[in-house]
Structure 1
Amino acid sequence: MTPPGQENRAGTGNGTDSGTTARARSAIVIGGGIAGPAVAMALRKAGVEATIYEAYDTTADGIGGGISIAPNGLDALGAIDADEPVRAIGTPLYGNVITNAQNVKVAELALPEELPPLHFVWRTDLYRTLHDQSGERGITTHRNKKFLTAEESPTHITAHFADGSTAQADILIGADGIRSTVRTLINAENPPPHYAGLLGFAAPLADTRTPPTGGKLHITHGKRASFGYLSQEDRSGGWFANLPHPEHLTLQEVRKTTPQEWLRTLRAAYADDDSPAVAMLDLTDPDQLLMTGPLELTPPTPTWHRGRIVLVGDSLHATSPTSGQGASLALESAVQLARCLRDHPYSEAFAAYEALRRPRVEEIIEQTDQANQTKARPETRKTDARHHSATWHLHHHIDWNSPT
Structure 2
Amino acid sequence: MSDDTVRPTRVLVTGASIAGPAAAYWLDRIGHDVTVLERAPEPREGGQNIDVRGLARDVLERMDLLDAVRDAGTGEVGLRFVDDDGGTVAEFPTDAETGDGPTAELEILRGELARLLRDACGDRVTWWYGDHVTALDQDESSVTVRLDGGDAHEFDLVVVAEGPGSATRDLVMTGDDEPELDRLGMYCAWATIPRTADDDRWWRWMSVPGSRSVNLRPDNLGTTRAMLNFMTDETGLADRSPAEQRADLRERFADVGWEAPRILDALDRADDLYVDDLTQVKCPTWSRGRVVLLGDAAWCVTPIGGFGTSLALIGAQVLAAQLARAPYTEAFAAYEEWLRPLVDDVQDLPPGTPRVANPRSRLGVALFRAGTKLAATAPARAAFSKLSSDSGSDRTLPDL
Q: TM-score, normalised by structure 1?
A: 0.79
Q: CA deviation at 1:337?
A: 0.8
**Distance between the aligned counterparts of 1:233 and 1:37, measured in 2?**
22
For residues 15-42 of structure 1, the C-alpha deviation after alignment (integer angstroms, 9 at most, x for no partner) is 8xxxxxxxx8331112222211111001
Equivalent residues in 2 for 1:5-404, closer than 5 Å: 25-62=9-46, 64-70=47-53, 72-99=55-82, 105=89, 108=92, 110-111=94-95, 113-115=97-99, 117-134=104-121, 136-189=122-175, 190-191=178-179, 193-210=181-198, 212-213=200-201, 216-224=202-210, 225-231=212-218, 237-253=224-240, 255-257=242-244, 259=246, 261=247, 264-265=250-251, 267-268=253-254, 270-271=256-257, 276-278=258-260, 280-281=262-263, 284=266, 286-288=268-270, 290-367=272-349, 370-375=352-357, 378-379=360-361, 382=368, 383=371, 385=375, 386-390=382-386, 391-393=388-390, 396=393, 402-403=398-399
Aligned partner of residue 264 in structure 1, secondary structure? helix
- Please say if residues 59 and 314 of structure 2, whose CA atoms lie closer than 8 Å, have aligned partners that are also in contact: yes
**Distance between the aligned counterparts of 2:242 and 2:173, measured in 1?**
31
**Distance between the aligned counterparts of 1:301 and 1:235, measured in 2?**
39
* Closer, same or farther: CA 267–154 of 1 in aligned 2, 3 Å: closer
How many residue pairs align between the two structures? 375
Divergent runs of 4+, >6 A = 12-15, 232-235
- Please say if residues 93 and 217 of structure 1, whose CA atoms lie closer than 8 Å, have aligned partners that are also in contact: yes
Which residue pairs with 2:379 in the alignment? none
Q: CA deviation at 1:140?
A: 0.4
Q: TM-score, normalised by structure 2?
A: 0.79
- CA RMSD, aligned part only? 3.5
Q: CA deviation at 1:283?
A: 7.1
Aligned partner of residue 148 in structure 1, secondary structure? strand
* Closer, same or farther: CA 153–60 of 1 in aligned 2, 3 Å: same
Instruction: State, as a whole percentage, how many aligned pairs show the same letter.
Output: 22
* Closer, same or farther: CA 138–197 of 1 in aligned 2, 3 Å: same
- Please say if residues 193 and 224 of structure 2, whose CA atoms lie closer than 8 Å, have aligned partners that are also in contact: yes
AA in 1 matched with 2:64:
D
- Please say if residues 314 and 326 of structure 1, whose CA atoms lie closer than 8 Å, have aligned partners that are also in contact: yes
- Please say if residues 56 and 310 of structure 2, whose CA atoms lie closer than 8 Å, have aligned partners that are also in contact: yes
- Please say if residues 198 and 376 of structure 1, whose CA atoms lie closer than 8 Å, have aligned partners that are also in contact: no
**Distance between the aligned counterparts of 1:233 and 1:31, measured in 2?**
25
**Structure 2: stretches of 5+ with no match in the other structure:** 376-381
- Please say if residues 173 and 179 of structure 2, whose CA atoms lie closer than 8 Å, have aligned partners that are also in contact: no
**Distance between the aligned counterparts of 1:156 and 1:142, measured in 2?**
20
**Distance between the aligned counterparts of 2:88 and 2:55, measured in 1?**
30
**Structure 1: stretches of 5+ with no match in the other structure:** 1-11, 16-23
